[in-house]
Amino acid sequence: MFFIIIMRTYCRNGNLSRCFKQKSYLCKCICGTTIRKQIFHSLLSMTTMIKNIIFDFGGVIHDIRYENVGEAFVRHGVTNLGTFYTKDFQTPEMDLFEKGMLSPAEYRDYIRRATGHNLSDNDIDDIVNAILIDVPRERVELLLKLRQHYKVFLFSNTNQINYDCFTVRLKAKYGFDIFTECFDKAYFSNFMHCRKPAKEGFEKIIAEQHLVPSETLFIDDIAKNLDGAHAAGIHGLHLAEGTILNLFDEEGLLKKTLTSEKA
């Protein structure tokens, strides 16, 4: 498995270069200049300075499967929808729904218009929630352990239908609210009225929690969501494979041996 650390480096012309950490420590800047990455930006030094960790939810803490949504549509008789919701694409209406700018009732009406099917509210909720799988117990235990060493936050792009579903399911499973017990605070796009990768959400978390951006790490399974974190001065880690269990040692500290290569 591997984890991609995207760092900010400048070439001799002062241009910002977003490069992947490579064995040669060389990368191409946007102006074409080949530059050598500064050694003090190594992940080893980063892990020792991190005091705050912001986690994505779906795909990082909560297991999800995007294909379930399309399969659920088919089960409800919608077979001609085409690409509707994937890891890399969603409709503008879903963006608005995740920003809390469409109510569940408005979003359900949109689904009926888009599909041409008179689906019931329960049918649509079943389709929307089909993406949700589970939060494994070992991840909850890890998050609780992390709070002994770091300030821990959640920043999730979600919608009200999903939120209403996973909060009830997870409280029934664990017997407590994981969002208050595992995190200093959980932030959800539908309540913040902004979604990743926009930097505004990260800036709000930084300001509200009085965080130092250079001491903060954001972890997400979607690389483009790191853009907003970088714009806000936060370190970003792309969880390309594996789980968050691979990022920390037995004491709940970020592994000093993490690299962008296979680990």
Q: What is the mean pLDDT of residues 195-206?
A: 97
Amino acid at 213: P
Q: What is the pLDDT of residues 145-167, one digit of tens each?
A: 999 999 999 999 999 999 999 99
Domain carrying residue 15: 4-43
Closest CA to 252 of 136, 140, 150, 145: 145
Domain assignment present for 92: yes
Tell which wins on pLDDT, 176 or 45: 176
Long-range contacts formed by 136-142: CB under 8 A, 24+ apart:
136/63, 137/174, 138/245, 139/61, 139/243, 139/244, 139/245, 140/174, 140/178, 140/182, 142/244, 142/245, 142/248, 142/252
Which of the listed ranges 13-17, 29-33, 103-107 does the model predict with the highest average pLDDT? 103-107
Position 9 in a domain: yes
For residue 227, tell me if it sits in a domain. Answer: no
In this prediction, residue 97 carries a pLDDT of 96
Query: What pLDDT, on a 0 to 100 scale, did the predictor assign at position 40?
Result: 32
In a domain, 115, yes or no: yes
> Which CATH number does the domain housing residue 80 bear?
1.10.150
pLDDT at 47: 66
Same-domain status, 30 and 77: no
> What local confidence, expressed as pLDDT, does residue 45 receive?
56
pLDDT tens digits for 21-69?
Answer: 333 333 434 444 333 333 234 454 566 689 999 999 999 999 999 899 9
**Higher per-residue confidence, 256 vs 194:** 194
- Distance CA(162)–CA(69), nearest Å, equals 12
Does residue 252 belong to any structural domain of this protein?
Answer: no
Query: Is 24 a member of any domain?
Result: yes
Q: Is residue 238 part of a domain?
A: no
CB 115 within 8 A of CB 148: no
What is the 3-state secondary structure of 199-257? HHHHHHHHHHHCCCHHHEEEEECCHHHHHHHHHCCCEEEECCCCCHHHHECCCCCECCC
* Domains in the chain, number: 2
Place 83 in a pLDDT band, splitting at 50, 70 and 90. low
Query: Is residue 240 situated within a structural domain?
Result: no
Who's near 153: CB < 8 A, 6+ residues apart? 52, 53, 54, 55, 183, 184, 185, 186, 187, 205, 209
